Amino acid sequence: MNDSNIFMLISSFLRSLLSPLLGNDATDLSIYVVGLVGVIIVVFTNAVILVLMERKVAGFMQSRLGPNRVGPWGILQTVADTLKLLSKEDYQPREVDKWVWALAPALLFIPALGAYAVIPFDNQAVPVDLNIGIFYFIALSSLSTLPFLMAGWGSNNKYSMLGGMRAVAQMISYEIPLIFSILGVIMLVGSLQMSSIVEAQSKVWFVLLQPVAFVIYVIAATAETNRTPFDLVECEGEIVAGPFTEYSGMRWSMFFLAEYANLFAVSAIATTLFLGGWQPLPLPGALGDILQFIPGWIWFAAKTYFMIFVFMWFRWTFPRFRMDQLMSFGWKVLLPLSLANILITGVGIYFYRVMIGG
């Protein structure tokens, strides 16, 4: 692996600049602040790109052109959308529970942003490389259930309430197979740290060793991010827009931003756990050496965007589940499957150890 990448260079440059002025502790703190700013930039830029990408992918999959009026190839469409949302009136319905209603979009954004702390963007370029990284991600992602319920309850609207209840039922049910599928990978690595999970995949990606876990993860992650075919929470055909019904303008766009931030986060976690993170394609021979020269963050971005494309592909292919189908699929199919996967992984690890005589 190349030890110096662009993030390392920036970090060491900042350190050499700041440490004579501030001392070591303050320098560490300011490096974290720089990381946070970087993550926020990544989140917002991604939201801008993903809104356009979603609409373009939707267009292409329906043999349309997608947005193409604003700017060349519709590139400025998101800018126009954002300006429109910013200039809208901040309307608050009379009967809403003011605090709960107003806090929900902001609170939803916090776990979405916090999850980025443990995503390994490149070699040694994890904002905070916790030794319980994936555990932290799971803990934070389960927090995003509550703001949905808050939005649903606070809106004082029966459809929003239904949507909020659905969010709780769905996200809690699908969290269990999600975590169990991650567990298979953790058993192989023996560590919860994101950087060591990536390091462990230098020879073979875990998507080959844990294909069932990967499929379960992708399905459960689709449900976690409330995207079609699991968008029972929003479900515009039945319950208007679920918890988002009473929101408009920037408040509504916070939900949207959080959705895309979550989408990127789960795709990045899928990349990290199953697709080798920032590591290049493990090919033998000269081709593998050539692939080493591509920077890690490009590999990471390419794999993550591929996963995002897969999620979009799902969205524009599959029709929505019914609520009872959703629950029975989660509890009766995904959960036993993920448990069986854990069992088989454990047995496999045992036999592997017996074989190598460990």
Partner 1 sequence: MQGIGLLKGMFVTIQEFFRKPVTEEYPDVMPDLGDRFRGGTIKLKTSKCISCGICMNSCPNGSIKLTSVRDENNKRHLSTYVHDSGLCLYCNLCIESCPVKCIDWTNEFAFSGYSREDLIFDCIDLAKKRGYDVPEVKATPEAGEKG
Residues of this chain that interact with partner 1 (CB under 8 A) are: 57, 59-65, 313-314, 316-318
The pair of structure tokens assigned to 21 is 């002025």
- The single residue listed with the structure tokens 């394609």 is 281
Return the HEC string of 59-111.
HHHCCCCCCCCCCHHHCCHHHHHHHHHHCCCCCCCCCCCHHHHHHHHHHHHHH
- DSSP H helical ranges for the chain: 6-22, 24-61, 77-86, 98-114, 133-143, 145-154, 158-189, 194-199, 206-209, 211-224, 236-239, 249-274, 285-292, 296-315, 323-328, 335-356
- The single residue listed with the structure tokens 């947005």 is 67
If the CB atoms of residues 32 and 313 are measured against partner 1, the closer one turns out to be 313
Q: How much is the CA Rg of the chain, to the nearest whole Å?
A: 22
Closest CB 273 distance from partner 1, rounded Å: 22
Closest CB 55 distance from partner 1, rounded Å: 13
If the CB atoms of residues 6 and 302 are measured against partner 1, the closer one turns out to be 302
Q: At what angle do helices 211-224 and 296-315 cross, to 10 degrees?
A: 70
If the CB atoms of residues 62 and 202 are measured against partner 1, the closer one turns out to be 62
Closest CB 66 distance from partner 1, rounded Å: 8
Closest CB 298 distance from partner 1, rounded Å: 23
Closest CB 306 distance from partner 1, rounded Å: 13
Closest CB 142 distance from partner 1, rounded Å: 27
Closest CB 88 distance from partner 1, rounded Å: 28
Q: At what angle do helices 98-114 and 145-154 cross, to 10 degrees?
A: 160
Closest CB 182 distance from partner 1, rounded Å: 22
- The single residue listed with the structure tokens 């003011």 is 98
If the CB atoms of residues 35 and 330 are measured against partner 1, the closer one turns out to be 330
Closest CB 332 distance from partner 1, rounded Å: 13
If the CB atoms of residues 313 and 350 are measured against partner 1, the closer one turns out to be 313
- The single residue listed with the structure tokens 């690890």 is 349
Residue 15's contacts (CB-CB under 8 Å, 6 or more residues apart) are 27, 31
If the CB atoms of residues 42 and 52 are measured against partner 1, the closer one turns out to be 52
Whether residue 120 has a cis bond before it, omega within 30° of 0: no
If the CB atoms of residues 34 and 70 are measured against partner 1, the closer one turns out to be 70
If the CB atoms of residues 61 and 128 are measured against partner 1, the closer one turns out to be 61
User: Pick from 133, 292, 153, 265: which is nearest to 198 by CA?
Assistant: 133
If the CB atoms of residues 135 and 314 are measured against partner 1, the closer one turns out to be 314
Cα separation of 230 and 178, whole Å? 14
